[in-house]
Amino acid sequence: MSTTTETDSPGTAPAPAGGGPALLGRTRGRWLLLAAGLVLALVLPWVIYPPVAMDIAAWALFAVALDLLLGYAGLLSFGHAAFWGGSAYVAGLTALHWGLPFPLAALAGAGFAMLLAWPIGVLSVRRSGIYFAMVTLAFAQMLYFIVNQWRGLTGGENGLQGVPVHFFGLEAVETDAFFFYYAALPLILLGMWFAWRVVHSPFGRVLVATRDNPARARALGYDVERYRILVFVISAGLAGLAGGVFAISHGFVSLQEVAWQTSGKVVLLTVLGGIGTLWGGIVGAIVIVILEDQLASSGFEGIGIITGSVFIAVVLLFRRGIWGTVSDALARRRGERPAAEAVSAADGEEGL
């Protein structure tokens, strides 16, 4: 009498079909995609002016870093310029004054970004939604004013000029943007691999749970704030790595890197590409950086109008961004359910 009545239990519907072959297909698809991405990364400076290729790679990592926070933790930071730009200054200063090889300078910048992110994260993860965005923006603006005021160190509004590239005396890398790209690419790819590792870890699983239903995650014994602080710090570190490489590749650090427009631009790139996929940020970076470069070199003044219009069009027409829309369409053509791991920004806010 006390045993479960299995015949009329609620779960008598058959299990969903499609285990093996579909899964295999998806795994192979992922490997193909990864291979295609790597090939693209390797040929990029052959088809695009190498410094622009470097910009794309750096912005792509920056967008991936933001996606880790926005897409997987559901937290919209509007202050990520603090980590990208803060690291850019640290990387620039250590290369300039200590002659650090550029990978170490970029890593030092990333380390600084993480140290900076810790207290900011602790103070801002108590809020979510628009409040989180505003608190992070406020902290980023504080850094902007410090950088602007501390002229002796940062050069104020003139920026930090004459940042050298040191790379163990390898002259090709130190002087030629084409070779620099290949020297810096491993750092970028390492950062992207790390983001992928985080997403597909036990931590990543919990993170998605805290995004979708924080109250329930707490009932299961997870301290949601700790998870949010940690992902904030990781995201800042990756944003810092990208900013450090960007600064060295340009040979100077401008005040623009810590300005709110930079925070806005990375949100734009990520949402445009599609959040919650990691690939989306890469696509967004390719589209926007190339678009801006084309418009700038044609002497067009109103770049912001064009990128803004593209952004509005994509958000209105394709809520899941470029990547999300394309991958959904492909999944539907193969007769699968669209990937569940990707969500729109609005869905991420519904948790509580």
Partner 1 sequence: MNDPQDTVGPPGSRTVALSARGLSKEFRGFRAVKDVDLDVVEGEVHALVGPNGAGKTTLFNLLTGYLKPTSGTITVHGKDITGKEPEQIAHEGVARSFQITSLFDNLTPREHLELALQGMAGGGMRFWRSDSLLRRHRGRADELLEHVGLAGLAERPAGELAYGQKRALEMALVLALDPQVMLLDEPTAGMGREDVDRTIELVRQVAAGRTVVFVDHNMHVVGSLADHVTVLMSGEVLARGTYEQVRNDERVVAAYLGEDTHA
Binding-site ranges for partner 1 (CB under 8 A): 2, 4-6, 8-16, 19, 197-198, 200-206, 208-209, 212-213, 215-224, 226-227, 230, 234, 337, 340-341, 343
Nearer to partner 1 among residue 215 and residue 305 (C-beta): 215
CB of 348 to partner 1, least distance (A): 11
Structure-token match 């004013």, residue found: 145
Handedness of CA 40, 43, 47, 48 (dihedral sign): positive
Cα dist. 114→13, 82, 236, 294, 340 in Å?
Answer: 49, 11, 6, 34, 30
Nearer to partner 1 among residue 12 and residue 298 (C-beta): 12
Q: Using an 8 Å Cβ cutoff, are 281 and 273 in contact?
A: yes
Structure letter (DSSP) for residue 160: B
Nearer to partner 1 among residue 220 and residue 346 (C-beta): 220
Nearer to partner 1 among residue 340 and residue 346 (C-beta): 340
CB of 193 to partner 1, least distance (A): 12
What the block records as the tokens of 332 is: 């539907």
CB of 287 to partner 1, least distance (A): 27
CB of 288 to partner 1, least distance (A): 28
Nearer to partner 1 among residue 5 and residue 298 (C-beta): 5
Handedness of CA 49, 53, 56, 58 (dihedral sign): negative
Q: Using an 8 Å Cβ cutoff, are 109 and 244 in contact?
A: yes
CB of 117 to partner 1, least distance (A): 15
Structure-token match 């300039």, residue found: 96
- Show the 3-state SS of 241-294: HHHHHHHHHHCCECHHHHCHHHHHHHHHHHHHHCCCCCHHHHHHHHHHHHHHHH
Nearer to partner 1 among residue 8 and residue 301 (C-beta): 8
CB of 23 to partner 1, least distance (A): 11
